[in-house]
A and B are shown apart, each in its own frame.
Chain A
């Protein structure tokens, strides 16, 4: 990918529509070889961006879901202790070098991304980094800065082709400045209704044009209500898929109420959305 416009075209070919800002962010991340930190509202397509990037580059997609207490053992590498113990039992262990070798090393997502040897570097998604704790962030610095992983017993593995790293965050916790400094940053805005419509059209080819138009406009109005969980783009796509599966061609109040579970995710929201529907169509 040599220009931001080519990024747009290549992602378009895998049915992921990006705007100029995200295209520039992805282009620079690829060209400068730096990780890309994506933030934005839930359901705006952060994770999908990484997946689409892997598709567009035609490389393996490696995903690391973050959670509290994530350690090196789950993210970087782990020794296969069971095999080591068996090895000892069988009396093969004469010294260190026979126990701490490649045979006993279990690759976890980050080491797998570093040691990947294919024609193209893989795309590594570190998803919802804000769910992990400070200790894990610190663990990532070596990898994010140098694209290498150090295993004390074996040495440092440096990537021959640095993987494309995408981090996503929902801002539930302030990330450390040291992490932000190592990444390029892009904030994904919620798309305007016409762009949202074209995104949904790509995601749900079965839906009719008037249905998509009405649905995205309706979602735009629903997002203006004071909801506990405002529906994002992911919910819109789910909803339109549900409507398309039901064979709905024109949006009617009854169809909205039948499929309300795809856009309203709490009891209070359900009531508010249902009220909005009945207000709009008094018949």
Chain B
């Protein structure tokens, strides 16, 4: 029997505290579950303890790696099992590596100043460095923004890019919808809603005088955006990140960046602070400015469990079409995407240039499957693309 004579609650609290410090969101419910599970199934082996803790504390697949790491650090260098108070030599009893007890001070407090609670960072800390912040730029007038939007991405600094990103978010008001499967009472509906009709009949002596009708509730169409962050797209990457953030925050879209590998950016880009979101997204993409494998990455998206999100959705691919995979592979994967997605829009930074033809192998192979090829060399192009989204995604 492991952990004999040990306070289960103290153990569970300390272990979840350590998991939380490592980034696994285990709360009171999970801790309570672990305590009750340890009572129901006293751990007879390390394996049993592992499964008990994992089943009760981990609630999503993405957290399994963190759990395994923390579990290993806590239990790997522990003395040979079974671990109990009598088996542990007295000098090691207060060794908090093996049996975690609360209040050891071993976990870092968020404030870092020794307080047992987390303190918020001072709100006025940015005062002393206004120049490098970028958010302290004077408020731009719409005309100035419009002029900025015409400039190529390379000529914009970080602050201007952020301001234009906000403008993109504000523009994203009209959203393509589809017919949902839920119904809501509406006078123009065609279906009789029986429940409210009978409830209404109560007023008229159970005679159904007023008939309540209902019609389908439109639901926003799912948007999936994939953005190329390879070397050839270096100039556009920052601006496209802003576009992806606009989609992720306003429209609940799934967004991915790819160069040689596919990285899901939906979670980092939804961060409330724009600067933090862009920084986190930049940190998440570790193959930035490398080669491009468009076809392989599109295939990876379709094969992964996110492949279902594409179904019936609008897919936006932002890339110049330079692909190190053969064009046949691109044609095959685009055909597969075509069968699953509702509309495919391709944003190409070079498409706006006069005399441009889709000469690149990958682009030429992908074009027959795209509903629309839009230029995306400036923010003005991106704003235009966002505005025409409902038209593109409307009925054919």
Contact = CB atoms under 8 A, between A and B. Distances in A.
A32 B58 CA distance: 16
Nearest to A180: B59
A227 B303 CA distance: 8
A171 B51 contact: no
Nearest to B45: A20
A84 B58 CA distance: 47
A172 B64 contact: no
A96 B202 contact: yes
Given A69-B181, A69-B182, A185-B60, A31 B41 contact: yes
A173 B310 CA distance: 11
B208 interface: yes
A68 to B, nearest CB: 5
B206 A93 contact: yes
Most buried by B among A24, A96, A230: A24
A227 B332 CA distance: 13
Contacts of A28: 33, 37, 40-41, 52, 55-56
Nearest to A266: B336
Given A39-B61, A170-B305, A25 B55 contact: yes
A32 B202 contact: no
Interface of B: 25, 27, 29-30, 33, 36-37, 40-41, 47-48, 51-52, 54-56, 58-61, 64, 180-182, 194-195, 198, 201-202, 206-208, 299, 302-303, 305-306, 308-309, 332, 336
A187 interface: yes
Interface in A128-181: 133, 135, 170-173, 177, 180-181
Interface in A64-96: 67-69, 71, 73, 79, 81, 84-85, 88, 93, 96
Interface of A: 3-4, 20-21, 24-25, 27-28, 31-32, 34, 37, 39, 67-69, 71, 73, 79, 81, 84-85, 88, 93, 96, 99, 133, 135, 170-173, 177, 180-187, 226-228, 230, 268
A271 to B, nearest CB: 11
A69 B336 CA distance: 27
Contact of A24 (B30, B52, B182, B206): B52
Nearest to B182: A69
A31 B59 CA distance: 18
A181 B30 contact: yes
B263 to A, nearest CB: 16
Nearest to A229: B303
Contacts of B64: 187
Nearest to A136: B182
Nearest to A4: B41
Closest 4 CB pairs of A and B: A69-B181, A172-B308, A24-B51, A180-B59
A123 B198 CA distance: 34
A81 B40 CA distance: 46
Contacts of A226: 299, 303
Contacts of A184: 33, 55-56
Contacts of B299: 226
Contacts of B51: 4, 20-21, 24-25
Given A171-B61, A187-B61, 17 more contacts: A20-B47, A24-B41, A24-B48, A27-B41, A28-B33, A28-B37, A68-B181, A73-B195, A81-B198, A88-B201, A96-B202, A171-B305, A172-B306, A185-B58, A185-B59, A228-B336, A268-B336
Most buried by B among A71, A96, A133, A187: A187
Nearest to A29: B55
Contact of A20 (B30, B36, B48): B48
Contacts of B47: 20
Contacts of B180: 68-69
Contacts of B52: 24, 28
16 contacts: A24-B52, A24-B55, A28-B55, A31-B40, A32-B37, A69-B181, A79-B198, A88-B206, A99-B198, A171-B61, A171-B305, A173-B308, A184-B33, A185-B59, A228-B302, A230-B303
Contact of B60 (A27, A31, A88, A180): A180
Given A21-B51, A171-B61, A181 B29 contact: yes
A79 B195 CA distance: 8
Contacts of B206: 88, 93, 99
A133 B182 CA distance: 10
A186 B40 CA distance: 18
B59 A3 contact: no
Nearest to B336: A228
Contacts of A93: 206
A172 B40 contact: no
Contacts of B37: 28, 31-32
Most buried by A among B33, B59, B206: B206
A4 B48 CA distance: 9
Contacts of A27: 40-41
Nearest to A81: B194
A24 B195 CA distance: 44
Given A85-B208, A171-B61, A135 B198 contact: no
Contacts of B306: 172
A85 B41 CA distance: 54
A228 B298 CA distance: 12
B58 A172 contact: no
A253 B336 CA distance: 28
Contacts of A69: 180-182
Contacts of B182: 69, 71, 133, 135
Contacts of A268: 332, 336
A28 B42 CA distance: 11
